[in-house]
Amino acid sequence: MKKGIIITFFIISLLLIGMMFLIVDVRNNPVTDDFTTLESEFEKVNQEEAKTNIDSLRSTIVSEESKGQIDALETFNVITEDLLMHIQRLEEALYSKEREDSVNMEVPRIQENNALFFKKNGEYTNSATQFIAKLDAFEYNIRTLKQRFPVLSSIKTKVRTANTKNQDWLSYNFKDFPAITSYAKLKSLQYDIKTKREAIFTTVLNNQ
């Protein structure tokens, strides 16, 4: 699309240059002295038409840039919602509304907690693997937005803590913990993600 706009702009520029040479030639020809007024009006009309075309091109270019920015923000929002929904499902697996009357919140339920995130051989469960992948996508997309929107330079990319004492992030935060502890961490992470999304949207909108 941008290539097409540039080509159109180039063609219009060539037409304008051609008109300028034509007008100069007419002015240098004594036979055309009686057509001075007509020439003046012709030049005025073409200048106004050229200005209209250039303004239209400029508007198109701005619209394309704005569309790209809007698409980027919409993509970020979709990725964010997908992550939040997955966290919600993890929370419900730990303490669903259907089970909350029968579950004693004081019981640690460490084994149930571990089973949600880890297989017996220590590998991630499918749900945990998706959880990490969606977190990666969220943080990567923030980096992408920061490249597109310089005003986001102060926004931190990560929502995960870097200090994990030589453990992977999931094990450090969710392995061998009581279910209620993991539940609280998921709630906190959910809040951080929503807060970061709001900060990004607010910053971009306030700088348009």
11 alpha-carbon distance from chain centroid: 34
What pLDDT, in 10s, does the model give residues 27-46?
Answer: 445 444 444 555 555 555 55
What pLDDT, in 10s, does the model give residues 123-180?
Answer: 999 999 999 999 999 999 999 999 999 999 999 999 998 888 889 999 999 999 999 9
Contacts of 57 (CB under 8 A, 6+ apart): 5, 8, 9, 12
In sequence order, what are the beta bridge partners of 129?
none
What's the CA gap between 98 and 2, in Å, rounded?
A: 54
